[in-house]
């Protein structure tokens, strides 16, 4: 019997939708359309408009593999190998945390306060924050720092893909930065407690790097260290911006004040959750 070389998109979409639904995924039809669009290099609209056209065996096999991975729990961004962030599409894999939409507002908040000089993205992961600052700001230099060699390599790949100019540094938080050398220090640090990490949805805990999620018994290890380092590395008048756990923003703000930072502000996200903490080094350098 000859090998089947083609079948209709409509039939494969129905089949993929049923498998994703049986696997317990939310919005299985939308996911099926998006996965087929990724396989074919088409937009979801184009997939639907041409759903009665045939699809070749190679594409059908690739779609089958993608659906299998999603049903097994592999995050969509890791299956497709990419995620959108502001004006960028960045490579994603298990070397780094998947960029979240809520983090995008952090770019706006920082650029309203400082957009020139030297910026540093701490815990850069995919590099999405550093690349956005380089693309949208007017900084002389944007540093992208991560303790993970794998994450640094991934950010370097994304820098090459996007053409944005950033400097990659492997180091622990801001310890590699010089004193009074940074105008804008930005981070989406880990902020889950050890207990919270253990209770995470397996779709996150089993796939994304623990280093980017868990931050000690109280969830403040990384933030506490960053505030102390910011008081040293920020230039007088420089700004620090963090994405934080929305249930503990007030506690994080107190840590900033304890470190001697001023103009400490909590900003809500689009869902009215206390999501960001901004702080400044005193203009007199104290």
**Domain of 131: which CATH number?**
3.40.50.150
**125 and 242: one domain?**
yes
Question: Would the CA dihedral through 192, 194, 195, 197 be positive or negative?
Answer: positive
Cβ–Cβ < 8 Å for 259, 227: yes
Residue 52 in domain: yes
How much is the pLDDT for 285?
63
DSSP, residue by residue, 218-232: SS-HHHHHHHHHHHH
Burial classification of residue 172, based on how many CB atoms lie within 10 Å of its CB (0-12 exposed, 13-18 middle, 19 or more buried): middle
Q: Which phi and psi (to 5°) does residue 63 adopt? A: -65, -45
Q: What's the order of all strands across the beta sheet hosting 182-187? A: 167-170, 141-146, 118-122, 182-187, 234-243, 274-280, 262-268
Taking the model in full, what pTM does it have? 0.90
Based on the fold, state whether residues 63 and 160 are members of the same structural domain: no
Give me the domain span that covers residue 141. Answer: 96-280
Each residue of 220-244: pLDDT tens digit? 999 999 999 999 999 999 999 999 9
What pLDDT sits at residue 3?
42
- CA–CA separation, 158 and 182 (whole Å): 23
* Inter-residue contact 193 to 247 (CB < 8 Å): no
Output the pLDDT for position 9.
Answer: 87
Write down the pLDDT at residue 284. Answer: 82
The total domain count for the chain is 2
Residue 56's CB is within 10 A of a number of other CB atoms, namely: 13
pLDDT at 7: 74
Residue 13, domain member (yes or no): yes
Spatial distance between the Cα atoms of 284 and 173, rounded to a whole number of angstroms: 25
Same domain, 46 and 109: no
The radius of gyration computed from the CA coordinates of the chain, to the nearest angstrom, equals: 21
Instruction: Supply the pLDDT for residue 200.
Output: 87
Residue ranges for the chain with pLDDT beneath 70: 1-6, 285-286
User: What is residue 2's predicted lDDT score, i.e. its pLDDT?
Assistant: 39
43 and 175 housed in the same domain: no
Q: State the Cα–Cα distance between residues 139 and 128, nearest whole angstrom.
A: 16
Examine residue 252 and state whether it is found in any structural domain, yes or no: yes
Task: Give pLDDT tens digits for 75-94.
Answer: 999 999 999 999 999 999 99
């Amino acid at each position: 019997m000859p090998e089947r070389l083609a079948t209709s998109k409509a039939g494969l979409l129905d089949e993929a939708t049923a498998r994703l639904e049986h696997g317990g995924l939310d919005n299985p039809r939308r996911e099926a359309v998006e996965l087929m669009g990724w396989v074919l290099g088409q937009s979801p609209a184009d997939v639907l408009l041409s759903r009665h056209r045939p699809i070749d065996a190679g594409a059908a096999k690739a779609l089958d593999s993608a659906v299998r991975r999603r049903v097994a729990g592999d995050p969509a961004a890791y299956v497709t190998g990419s995620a959108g962030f502001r004006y960028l599409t960045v490579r994603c894999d298990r070397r780094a945390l998947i960029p979240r939409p809520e983090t995008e507002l952090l770019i706006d908040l920082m650029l309203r306060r400082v957009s020139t000089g030297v910026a540093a993205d701490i815990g850069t992961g995919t590099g999405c924050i550093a690349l956005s600052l380089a693309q949208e700001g007017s900084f002389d230099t944007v540093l992208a720092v991560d303790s993970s060699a794998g994450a640094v390599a991934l950010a370097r790949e994304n820098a090459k893909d996007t053409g944005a100019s950033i400097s990659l540094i492997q180091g622990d938080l801001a310890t590699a930065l010089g004193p009074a050398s940074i105008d804008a220090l930005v981070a989406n640090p880990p902020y889950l407690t050890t207990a919270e990490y253990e209770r995470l949805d397996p779709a996150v805990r089993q796939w994304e790097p623990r280093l980017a999620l868990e931050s000690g018994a109280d969830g403040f290890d990384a933030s506490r260290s960053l505030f102390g380092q910011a008081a040293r590395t920020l230039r007088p008048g420089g700004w620090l911006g963090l994405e934080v756990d929305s249930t503990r923003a007030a506690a994080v703000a107190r840590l900033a004040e304890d470190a001697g930072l001023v103009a400490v502000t909590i900003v809500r996200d689009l869902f009215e959750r206390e999501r960001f903490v901004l702080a400044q080094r005193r203009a007199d350098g104290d």
